[in-house]
A and B are shown apart, each in its own frame.
Chain A
Amino acid sequence: EPEVTQTPSHQVTQMGQEVILRCVPISNHLYFYWYRQILGQKVEFLVSFYNNEISEKSEIFDDQFSVERPDGSNFTLKIRSTKLEDSAMYFCASSVAEGEVGELFFGEGSRLTVL
């Protein structure tokens, strides 16, 4: 069964360093998302991406965040200068639906620890 894959599963970094989280969405999906979940808390929307551009982004998704689909298969989230409060689980998701948002397929997440 097709699935969304994410790498790395866990990354530890020093404050101020750049981090790139990678995702391979399901191949025929058109919409891509990043969410984050701070330990034990709610799942927060970061950004949605369609047709090679950002569809919608949250207040969390400030200038230190960027997304890219560099080669037609990978979908990356870059955090330019990490802060302690960026420590969280980051989930990538994809969806086949065009128009109304339908079922999202999530990866297993990348746990980011900022020291």
Chain B
Amino acid sequence: SQQGEEDPQALSIQEGENATMNCSYKTSINNLQWYRQNSGRGLVHLILIRSNEREKHSGRLRVTLDTSKKSSSLLITASRAADTASYFCATVMQGAQKLVFGQGTRLTINP
């Protein structure tokens, strides 16, 4: 079974709208991270939230973490065409030396 599962698998919105992506996981974590991947490129770290944090902001990004529900959300405000990419959540389980990635959400921003 997968540690991180994202919802929705695909999201298409108009430029300027907000985009929300959700991630659920199964086991206790040290931290949860969000990454972005443009088609055919490497993954780029966006934000890290620790298990004792509930919310974090970075520019137009807002991440929340609910450890009781084992879920996280990534909000991108005022979306731009350049935000079109796949977004992955990744978890670090307690005691592990690896990131485990979810399936990702493919976000398309229509101009």
| Total chain B interface residues with beta-carbon distance under 8 A | 24
Chain B residues packing against A (C-beta within 8 Å): 2, 30-31, 33, 35, 40-45, 48, 88, 90, 92, 96-104
Nearest A residue to B106 via CB reads: A40
User: Which of B100, B103, B104 meets A45, CB within 8 Å?
Assistant: B100
Nearest A residue to B91 via CB reads: A101
In the complex, whether A102 has a CB less than 8 A from a CB of chain B is yes
Given that A42-B104, A43-B88 are known contacts, is A101 also in contact with B44, CB under 8 Å in the complex?
A: no
User: Which of B2, B40, B48, B101 meets A102, CB within 8 Å?
Assistant: B48
Of A12-20, A63-71, A72-80, A106-114, which stretch is located at the interface?
A106-114
* Inter-subunit contact B98/A45 (CB<8 Å): yes
| Total chain A interface residues with beta-carbon distance under 8 A | 27
A-B contact pairs, 9 of them (CB 8 A): A4-B42, A43-B88, A44-B101, A45-B99, A91-B43, A100-B31, A101-B30, A106-B43, A108-B41
* Inter-subunit contact B33/A103 (CB<8 Å): yes
Chain A residues whose CB sits within 8 angstroms of the CB of B90 once the complex forms: 43
